[in-house]
Chains A and B, each alone.
Chain A
């Protein structure tokens, strides 16, 4: 079963996502509240896929994508974006994010994105 790293500064969001994932058979191998921690956890856990929030303290999602991709060019990262963050999502895609999901999360959309990225 695929191993997922959840990155989001809001514990509530992490919880929701974790809920959706676990119910559908994914294994959550770690949770990070900011980009810095996310990079560290990625190197440590080597998850199959990362869900990455964009706006976070310490290091934002875009920078985190860049650093993770620099460490592992095949890293699969799905951005978690709020509405109106179009430009940042594009930036993240340019930096190598594979897909994105939009808050508020709809479980089937989250699962679809994960399934497709893991393809």
Chain B
């Protein structure tokens, strides 16, 4: 198990390094010059060159990259003179735009993205599991068909379309909820939930179908396993057969999928956050892209990748722990 863990951790480190290198290179190759953007409107070429030097963009790519990776762990001192500031571990540099440490900008936005991810996960799990189990137990009935067509229909709608529909009906026509704006949980928990409701539903509708379908097929598969037949043969009641013997093993693949989906969402749902004006990591990323704020783009990309590979690892470890055969793969 230790060798397995070590091997996976080394794999993670390598993956992150490759992602870092690729993002760095892409940014370097883009014709959009951050020094020009930073410099202002009718900036002279001399001044742009000065800015480029100040931002360290004139050094060879490999040196910039080396410094960047080294700084994440060892930190570095940014700026000069009396305004030099030390950026400690994990140092992702400073935003070109705001001058603030990238890490603190991300951690500041993280709770919003996390609450969006977890809230919608609860919703889509509830919807997906319920629809999946009911469909499986009423296989080929009209209930099954309606549920499966309904969920696939919801998943087929693009997130921005769902969001516009929800806003139109709930906020504009019916006036049931105010137009969403971000409220701090600590300031007003009820207002917070009220404002997060539509974003949660939007994301959940887009995701629930996959869970419903997977739960359905997984439950069907389990119910046809010999041990279920044995349980029935022992004379157990159907409810107990389904709850105790059918559902539990059927949920393993669902948990795997949940782990990976959550990992991806923690670093922000870019479109949903933009649509509802939620100042989460996804919106931070979109704004940074727009303003060529390289340190922020890099920082968010790395943190997002970290979440995804880590959630993969957690899922793998859980699997390996449950099923020793997985350790060999």
A and B from one complex = no
Mark B residues whose CB is within 8 Å of A: none
Interface residues of A (CB under 8 A from B): none
